[in-house]
Structure formats: structure tokens, C-alpha cells
Amino acid sequence: MEIKVLGTGCAKCKALEKAVTDAVKQSGINATILKVEDIVEIMQFGVMTTPALVVNGEIVIKGRVPSVKDLTKLLTN
């Protein structure tokens, strides 16, 4: 599984990155987590509100930071 956290480095972007890392560790998911801070690359996904989460090329969250529990549920389904 490839997970990308899209964000320019704001507090919410960092919080999403940490929550995703925690969710992956807690659930034992085999995933690669990438942080994308380049605004041009973020815009290629059509994202105008950060942070955003992309799983296997599909945008699954944008503009908010869900709980670790919600992320775990999202990533294991």
C-alpha cells in the first residue's frame, strides 16, 4: 500500500502525517508513507485544501485530520 500525505508543512499537515504513521504501526499494515510538500505535485492531484491523504493513487481525505482510530478503519477496509 502506498500512502501519500499531501501538505505544505502546516500544523494540520504534520498532525495528519503523525496520525497516519501511528495508524499504520498500530494495525500492522504493510505500507509506504510519503510526505508530499511540493505545491505543484499537490495540485496535480486536484487538491485545493490541505492536508490530504492519498491511498494507492486515490484521494480519500482532504481538508481535515481524522483520528488514528478512523484512519485505521479506513486503511484496513
Known catalytic residues are 10, 13
Residue type, 63: G
Q: Which set of grid coordinates corresponds to residue 17?
A: 502525517
Euclidean distance between CA atoms 34 and 32, whole angstroms:
6
Whether the CB-CB separation of 21 and 27 falls below 8 Å is answered with no
